[in-house]
Amino acid sequence: MSKERQVPVDDRLLTTNPNDIFDDPDIDVVIEVMGGIEETRSLLVKALRNKKHIVTANKDLMALHGPELLLEATANQCDLFYEASVAGGIPILRGLVDGLASDRITKMMGIVNGTTNFILTKMSKNGSAYEDVLKEAQELGYAEADPTSDVSGLDAARKMAILSTLGFSMTIDLDDVKVQGITEISKDDLEYSQKLGYTMKLIGIASRYGEKVEVSVQPTLLPETHPLASVNDEYNAVYVYGEAVGETMFYGPGAGSLPTATAVVSDLVNVLKNMRLGVNGRSAVSPQYPKALKGPEDVYAKFFIRLHVSDEVGVLANITSIFSEYGVSFDKILQLPLKQKESSEIVLITHRASLFNLDRIKQELSNYEMIKEIKSAYRVEGEELL
Amino acid sequence: MSKERQVPVDDRLLTTNPNDIFDDPDIDVVIEVMGGIEETRSLLVKALRNKKHIVTANKDLMALHGPELLLEATANQCDLFYEASVAGGIPILRGLVDGLASDRITKMMGIVNGTTNFILTKMSKNGSAYEDVLKEAQELGYAEADPTSDVSGLDAARKMAILSTLGFSMTIDLDDVKVQGITEISKDDLEYSQKLGYTMKLIGIASRYGEKVEVSVQPTLLPETHPLASVNDEYNAVYVYGEAVGETMFYGPGAGSLPTATAVVSDLVNVLKNMRLGVNGRSAVSPQYPKALKGPEDVYAKFFIRLHVSDEVGVLANITSIFSEYGVSFDKILQLPLKQKESSEIVLITHRASLFNLDRIKQELSNYEMIKEIKSAYRVEGEELL
């Protein structure tokens, strides 16, 4: 209550006791921007049971308890809107709900974490190392002192859980999201990506085929002409594939006080419209489909693989034959000598392969004595799968 | 009625007499996808007076008569939705309405015509001439046999009239939109643009400063890193600047039967939701502000200017001094010898200048004997104005 604020607020309007709000019949809407999970959840449930509509920007909470809170809201004929929880200034949740009215979503690819996008953009543009850019980002306020939840991919995973639950009408829990962060990405990875015409981004992928879905977050290569490839710095974007509409993209600021505020106020306006029309609590739809997750044998992509090998006759032929055993061929190959004597660097872009086969191939490669090291392996998206 | 269709329709459901629809009390909603202007307008007015809600994809009609039809709809407590009329598969009208609930839009830049974007993309990528690409586009079905309304910019102008009327809450008529098409763009223009780091697009610009607005459509250079620069082929996108949210972009297919159908069905679902809630005809907002258009002295941009000059001492100094008279300096200069003897090509990117001053400068340049020809002059957008 003693915090300095840019806008003067009458002290009599402030309280540290939530019951002052729940018990006040003149209060219709609670805007929750305090963060936190367990304590906040029980406060919001209490608010809903007191017939307060809720607007929240809390992605941690919605990723863990969204479906149950939405049920509680509907039971109390209350609205619970959370546009600000994913990609701040981008009206993506409303875009999905509207799109779903007339189409079926088959895939979403999202750049949904501004900190990691800022870091990867700077690493790509300036050829800098991860640690140096992270430090710069922290100094500029784009990364927190403890950046773990951003750089580990956890923050992006939360948003993908929210997006896929809504887009696929299926309860996707945070634990269902496979996550890999950006901390292992090297300057060399970015340099070779660029040489082959790709841009590296931390991409959240949610894809559906038939009744099964895959939701994951990982460093991913996109063709440099792909619209997501030019989403730079702290910007966010979500690329949506609909069966009928084809490919659409929503782009904008992912965070920041004003963009977040516009999302909160848009939600608030919708609550007020619904109040005036007397239709609150009718727009939330509970997940319609039982959860069904794809296994690694059902997930197909192209892959980028970088190897250090002995510079001997027949190495590439042997590598090729390992891949062929699993029916995987190559789209692009780049081989360059290394500074260390008698070693080469080989960078491969595969054609379509399953995650399951990729893992088996990596296992075989690592057993093969002429391969000194598998330096990295990344997914490649945004191209036709052949 | 004898037309072959992909979906079988019971003949008893078809009629060529509009009154069969207007007089049928069981029909609640009229979907208008027949096109045309005057006859269609009077039919829709009649439908509204018979209390039929309307979903239309007719940009020609909405650009010319949108505000008056919306008034008629409100007067009859009917919905009139037209999402499909601008950028087919992109929910941009709904995005603007939602955005407007919490923000003020200051500028929109749109790639809103798929045919011209296809042509410019192919010209840029393959270095082909306009006429050759147009022919290819016609063979592929991306351009019509008579492509005039697309390549002249008229189709884009209609969409910008609709977008700016909604976004600025001000009746912008088609005649208020300054239009320049793509027919004069040469291979050289595109080549020099690329050399300087720009991509050429046909951009609809709607910008507001204070109470005055500018709406125009013209070939425009964007930095190749700008998100609109990677909107390729027949895709559309609208880039929106909001005072609070900052910069957002909506991207997707601009036309095509299925994308248009998703927009129409989304609108239809909204009509049905409103019917169920009993709130039809309440969402349209009439333009709130009187029309006020910027004159050329109020419109500022950077410009690309390409000149053929005599290869003599002092030419560039003299050109520079003509620009300085009007307070205009240069961001980039590229001078190259021409194949014709004793001639040079000079390409200039200016800093901030008004359209009015640009016209006066062009006048002075054309009077200056050492300048053989002003080959082209284009607007440059998407960079900070200095």
B159 is catalytic: yes
Q: How many beta-carbon pairs below 8 A join chains A and B?
A: 132
Q: Supply B7's token pair.
A: 């979906």
Residue A288 lies in a domain: no
Q: In terms of CA atoms, which chain A residue is nearest residue B90?
A: A248
Supply the ipTM of this predicted assembly. 0.89
Q: Are residues A113 and A42 in the same domain?
A: no
Considering the domain architecture, whether residues A170 and A41 belong to the same structural domain is answered as no
Residue ranges of A 72-131 with Cβ closer than 8 A to chain B: 89-91, 94-95, 98-99, 101-103
pLDDT band at A100 (very low <50, low <70, confident <90, very high): confident
B288 within domain boundaries: no
CA A34 to mean position of chain CA atoms: 22
Per-residue pLDDT at A241 exceeds 80: yes
Around Cβ B1, how many Cβ atoms within 10 Å?
7
In terms of domains, do B134 and B98 share one? Answer: yes
The answer to whether residue A261 is domain-embedded is yes
| A335 and A222 within one domain | no
| Cα–Cα distances in angstroms (integers) from residue A74 to residues A39, A43, A261, A343, B230, in the given order | 21, 17, 25, 63, 42
Q: Is B272 on the interface with A (CB under 8 A)?
A: no
pLDDT band at A240; cut points 50, 70, 90: very high
B249 in the same domain as B110: yes
- Considering only the beta carbons, identify the residue of A102, A270, A277 that sits closest to B266: A102
Q: Give A-chain residues touching B282 at CB under 8 angstroms.
A: 277
State the catalytic residue, choosing from A59, A159, A178, A294. A159
pLDDT of residue A20: 95
**Residue B293 counted as domain residue:** no
From the list A226, A197, A207, the residue with the least C-alpha distance to A109 is A207
* B121, B124, B247, B249: best to mutate for the A interface, most A CBs within 10 A: B249
Task: Give the residue from A253, A288, A322 where a domain finishes.
Answer: A253
Q: Nearest-5° angle of CA A158, CA A160, CA A163?
A: 115
Taking contacts as CB-CB distances below 8 angstroms, the residues of chain B near A237 are 249
CB-nearest to B252 from A249, A262, A265 is A249
Give yes or no for A248 touching B (CB within 8 A): yes
Q: Determine the distance in angstroms separating the CA of B252 from the nearest CA of chain A, rounded to an integer.
A: 4
Q: Specify the higher pLDDT residue, B237 or A279.
A: B237
Q: In the prediction, which pLDDT does B100 show? A: 76
Q: Does A254 touch chain B (CB under 8 A)?
A: no
Q: Which residues of B touch A258 (CB under 8 A)?
A: 244-246
pLDDT computed for residue B1 by the predictor? 63
- Select the more confidently predicted residue: B31 or B89: B31
Check pLDDT > 80 for residue A284. no
A253·B265 Cβ contact <8 A: no
CB contact under 8 A, B89 and A227: no
Task: Please report, for the domain that includes residue A304, its CATH number.
Answer: 3.30.70.260
Per the structure, the complete domain to which residue B346 belongs is given by 300-380
**Is residue B208 domain-resident?**
yes
Final residue in a domain of this structure, among B184, B218, B253: B253
Let me know whether B346 and B244 are in one domain.
no
B343 close contact with A: CB closer than 8 A: no
Both tokens of A268, joined, read: 């608030």
Q: What is the pLDDT of residue B312?
A: 86
Angle at B202 between CA B197 and CA B204, to 5 degrees: 115
Total domains, chain B = 3
Are residue A117 and residue A249 in the same domain, yes or no?
yes
Residue A114 C-beta-side C-alpha neighbours within 13 Å = 21
For position B65, which CATH number holds?
Answer: 3.40.50.720
Give the pLDDT confidence score for residue B338 in this predicted structure.
Answer: 85
Cβ contacts of B95 on chain A, cutoff 8 Å: 91, 95
* Strands A53-56, A29-32: pairing kind: parallel
Q: Is residue A64 part of a domain?
A: yes
- Cβ–Cβ gap B258/A269 under 8 Å: no
B8-63, pLDDT tens digit by residue?
889 899 999 999 999 999 999 999 999 999 999 999 999 999 999 999 999 999 99
Q: Are residues A219 and A104 part of one domain?
A: yes
CA distance A25 to chain B (A): 25
A320 with A232, same domain: the answer is: no
Question: Is B141 inside any structural domain?
Answer: yes
Q: Are residue A106 and residue A201 in the same domain, yes or no?
A: yes
Could you give the CA distance from residue B351 to residue A1 in angstroms, rounded to a whole number? 48
Alpha-carbon torsion (B362, B366, B367, B370), positive or negative: positive
| CATH number reported for the structural domain that contains residue B214 in this entry | 3.30.360.10
Domain assignment of residue B289, yes or no: no
Q: Are A159 and A307 members of one domain? A: no
Which of B93, B245, B267 would best serve as a mutation to test chain A binding (most A beta carbons within 10 A)?
Answer: B245
Tell me which H or E stretch contains B31. Answer: strand B29-32
Same domain as A241, residue A171: yes
Predicted confidence at residue B155, as pLDDT, reads 97
With beta carbons under 8 A apart, name residues in chain A contacting B265.
101-103
Q: Of B194, B219, B253, which marks where a domain is finished?
A: B253
In this prediction, residue A386 carries a pLDDT of 61
